[in-house]
Amino acid sequence: MTQRRALPKICIALGLPDVPRLLEQARREADSGENFLEFRLDYLPDPVAGTRAIAEFLGEHPNCTILATCRRHQNHGRFNGSIEDQLKIHDLAIEAGARAVDIEIETAEVVPERCAALRTRAQLVISWHHFETTPPLDPVLKRMQKIPADVYKIVSTARKPTDMGRILAASRMSPKIPLVTLAMGELGFPSRVLSTALGAVYTYAAPAHVQGTAAGQINARQLRSLYRIDKFTKNAKIYGVVADPVRHSVSPYVHNRAFQSRRIDAVYVPLLVSANQLRDFFQFAEALPLAGFSVTLPHKRRIMRYLDHVDPLARRIGAVNTVWRKGGKWRGANTDAEAVSGPLAKLVKLPTATALIVGNGGAARGAACALADAGTKVAITGRNADRVRALARLVGGEPMSHEQVLLRHFDIVVNATPVGMWPNVNECYFNGKIPGEIIFDMVYNPLETQLIRRAREQGKQAIPGVKMFIEQAVRQFEIWTGETAPRAAMETAAMDALETRYSEQRL
C-alpha cells in the first residue's frame, strides 16, 4: 500500500478544456508556490492525454501532489465513458505519478474491489455531491464509509445558512473520520474558509485568473492572504458581515487585516443572508458559533427583533449594524452614527453648526440622530416627503424640499443616499453649487464620488465615504475585541481593496 503522507491544506482545482492550457495553469500555480493540484481529466476531450500531462508536469515539479479526477457525466462530471473506462484512466493517472484519485460514491459502490486495488497504489478519495440542496448527512456518511478510503469528500449546495452549518459540523463532530466538507454556491462560501480549521483534511480553491470548477471557489492567494487560512486555529473566533448581496463587501479585507495586525486568532467572512432567512441565520450563528458580525443592507432594521439587547441609540435610530454575543445573549449597537459625528467634530463645532441631511433611510436616520444629539441644528431633505417629515420630527429638525435647500446654506451637508455609487458614478444630488462648507458623502465606491469631486472643485472641505466606513469598522473591532483598533492598517486595507475593485469594475 502507498505511503499515506498528509495532504496539503489547499487543493487547486484545474478544469481546463485542453492539455496545453491545463499544463500552463498547473505550471503557473506551482511557480507561485502551490503544491497540491487537482487535474480534472474529465474536462479534457481525451482524458488519457491528461494522464500523460500528469507525468510531464511531475517531471518538472516533482514536489507537487496531484489528485486525479475523472467524474462521469451521470454524476455531474464530463466523462462519457463506462465505469471500466473511468477506472482505466485512474490506473493510468496513478502510473503517471498521481498521489491520489477521486472516485464518486456511485462508481465506488459498483466496483468496491477495484477501488481497494487502486488504494494500494494511491490515496483514495471517495466523493459525494448534491447539486440541489443539503439533505441529512448522517446517512450519507454511513453509506460512504462502507467503502474503505483515505478521505471522504461531502459536497452539498447551501440554500440557507443552516445548510452550511451542517456541512461544517460534519468534520467537527467526526474528528476520527478524514473528511473534506464543502457547501457550494455563494451562500456556502465560508465553508471553504472555515472547514480545515474545524477538522477537514483540505479545501478547494480556484486557479488564479481562471474560473474554478465549482460555484463559490476563490483562488488560493485570497485564502492565504485575505482569510489567513494557514494561520487561524480551531479555537479562532469567527466574525462576518451579514448582507444581501455580500460579495462586494470590503469589510473582510479591513477586519482580517486588523486581526492580523493585532495577532488575534480570529477570522471574518462574508455571510450571504436573504431577507427571509434571518431566523435560520441565527440558528446557524448559535451552532457555529459566531462571536459577532457586521450588519448591512437589507437587515439593519429587521435584525433588531432577533437580539436580546439593543443599545438605546440604535433603538432610537431604528437600525443596528454591529452584533456581538456576551453572556450567551445577542447584543446590538449602531456604530454608523458615531462614524458620522466623529470626523465632523474634528472640523467644526457641532453644537453651533447647521447640517443638511440628504436622504430619509437608515443611513440618514443614523446621521441625523448623531448630529442632533451633538447639538447641531439639522434639516432633512429627500425624495419621500412623508419619511422626510417623520425623520425631522424624530430629531427635532426641519423638513425641506429640494427647492428650499437650494435657497439656504449649511455648515455641513451629508449625502446619506446611494446617489453617485457605482455603477452610476456620474450622478450627483447637486447639479450646481453645493449649499454647504463641509461635504460628507457616505458613498465609498468609487473612492472619489462626483459629489466629492465637485466639492473640492468648489473649494469646500470634503469627507469621502471611506472615512465613515473606517470609523464604524474601528468601533466594531473595539466592541468585539476590547482592544484598540489598528486604524492605519484598516484604512490601508480599505483603500487597497476599493482601488482594486474600482479598477476591475472599469475594465
Cβ 159 vs Cβ 182: under 8 Å: no
Q: Cα Rg for the chain, rounded, in angstroms?
A: 27
Question: What are the backbone angles phi and psi of residue 417, rounded to the nearest 5°?
Answer: -120, 170
Helices (H), 80-233: 83-96, 105-108, 112-119, 138-144, 161-173, 189-194, 220-225
Per-residue b or e along 280-292, where b marks 16 or more CB atoms closer than 10 Å to that residue's CB: bbbebbeebebbb
CA distance linking residue 229 with residue 211, whole number of Å: 21
CA distance linking residue 139 with residue 75, whole number of Å: 19
Cβ 424 vs Cβ 450: under 8 Å: no
Query: Which residue of the set 300, 326, 329, 349 is catalytic?
Result: 300
The one-letter code for the residue type at 283 is: Q
SS3 237: strand
Strand order from edge to edge, sheet including 237-243? 266-272, 237-243, 292-295, 322-326, 329-333, 309-310
Tell the burial category of 405 from Cβ atoms under 10 Å away from its Cβ (0-12, 13-18, 19+). buried
Long-range CB contacts (within 8 A, 24+) of 420-423: 420/449, 420/450, 420/451, 421/445, 421/449, 422/446, 422/502, 422/505, 423/505
> What Cα–Cα distance (Å) separates residue 66 from each residue in 10, 69, 150, 210, 461?
12, 10, 15, 19, 57
The one-letter code for the residue type at 118 is: L
160 is known as an active-site residue: no
Nearest C-alpha neighbor of 9 from the set 167, 199, 175, 259? 199
SS3 174: coil
Q: Are strands 151-157 and 123-129 parallel, antiparallel or unpaired?
A: parallel
Q: Are strands 100-104 and 65-69 parallel, antiparallel or unpaired?
A: parallel
CA distance linking residue 431 with residue 319, whole number of Å: 31
Nearest C-alpha neighbor of 134 from the set 165, 103, 172? 165
Place of cell 448527512: 137
Question: What is the sign, positive or negative, of the torsion defined by CA atoms of 250, 252, 258, 261?
Answer: negative
CA distance linking residue 151 with residue 375, whole number of Å: 64
Cβ 202 vs Cβ 38: under 8 Å: no
Cβ 364 vs Cβ 391: under 8 Å: yes
Return the active site residues.
Answer: 300
